[in-house]
Amino acid sequence: LGPELEPRLGWSFQNLQAGAAQPWATRSLIQELLALDAAQSEHLRRALEPGAALRRRRLLRVDQDDPYRPITPEPWLVARLTGRPLDVPPPPGAVAVDLAATWDDLVLPASRLAMLREFLLWIDQRDTVVGQWGGQKVGGPVALFAGPSGTGKTFAASVIAHALGWRLYRVDLGRLVSKYVGETEENLNRLFDAAHGQPMVLQFDEADALFSKRGEVKEARDRYANMEVSHLLTRIEAHDGPCILTTNLRKQLDSAFTRRFQMVVEFPRPDAASRAELWRRLLPPRAPLDAAVDPVFLGNAVALTGGGIRNAALHAAYLAAGQGGSIGLPHIAHALWRELAKEGREIAVQDLGLLAAHLPKELLDDN
């Protein structure tokens, strides 16, 4: 990391290596600077082999087993140790998800948090289980996050990516699936070839549309669609890197597919206590609040998901800011009314529960 932290070291490394085009040390320079004997030099060579821990865990890059090739740190390691943003280009058909999320930000039952941490073990402990203990090497790992919209599936995927120091990319399958025979497979191959072994987490939304229970094959298109799904699953399982599939409709998935995933995590709708905690966290921390705004009261009022609470908390803040005052229960009732209306059904004041008395009258007149 020397040349990254102190550019003068890079110049020094280049000056010490005649003809060097990059500011990185080679194995031969390390041997010279540390005055390694033959046994120590051999130990260094083995430590840099493709099967060694430094390479398996993607800490260093070594182009070839050549003592005159530069040894460079992986970009994710540089970003992790220096605090700089990780600049990894998105693979074809994927877009970056930029959520600064940590474990402390998750509001989930303890059992679900434990499952998410277990999923990380499949990544962090691969060297021990496969390299040292001789365990079977599998691709991925692959997890399925299932639950209603707004329950935190993408947020949890962001937490996992942040814990690894990697980027999260959401795969837009609509950009990859083609009506032309063979083109979908080519698009998927380009995606996974670009992402293979890179410091990134891939997220595939609406897995139920891909891995639903299979019906009778009635025409050639059905058979081809099954081939596309089979190809996608094969590439996901062979991929060297974590993949997270999400679904709002767990029951629609074929169990033959879900059995092949390393982890299946159910994201429940938050209970009253969890909703209270979400309100406490999601109301802007420096916003002035009326004395009547109590997170416990709000958590018992309306059974929204975390995503709905996030939207309502921000909407209430903007309403209060527009009036030049503090956030009060009328602002929150107003915001919740707007949020419930997004569901596309008839809503009544009773849907606001304990907050019904605080709904501004003009909203009822407009309904």
- DSSP letters, 312-351, are HHHHHHHHHHHHTS-B-HHHHHHHHHHHHHTTSS---GGG
The full set of domains in the chain, from first to last, is 2-73 (no CATH), 94-266 (3.40.50.300), 272-366 (1.10.8)
Query: Which of 3-12, 163-172, 202-211, 268-277 bottoms out in mean pLDDT, i.e. has the lowest?
Result: 3-12
Mean pLDDT of the chain: 85
Measure the CA dihedral 171/177/181/183, to 10°: -40
pLDDT band at 217, cuts 50/70/90?
A: very low
* pTM exceeding 0.85: no
C-alpha dist (Å) from residue 123 to 98, 143, 250, 263, 320: 21, 12, 25, 12, 45
Tell me the pLDDT tens digit for each residue of 117-154: 999 999 888 888 887 888 888 888 999 999 999 999 99
Kind and range of the H or E run holding 224: helix 220-238
Measure the CA dihedral 191/194/196/199, to 10°: -110
Q: Which two tokens stand for residue 74?
A: 């992986």
C-alpha dist (Å) from residue 352 to 140, 318, 326, 340: 44, 20, 21, 9
Query: What's phi and psi for 152, nearest 5 deg?
Result: 105, 20
Tell me the pLDDT tens digit for each residue of 302-353: 999 999 999 999 999 999 999 999 999 999 999 999 999 988 788 889 999 9
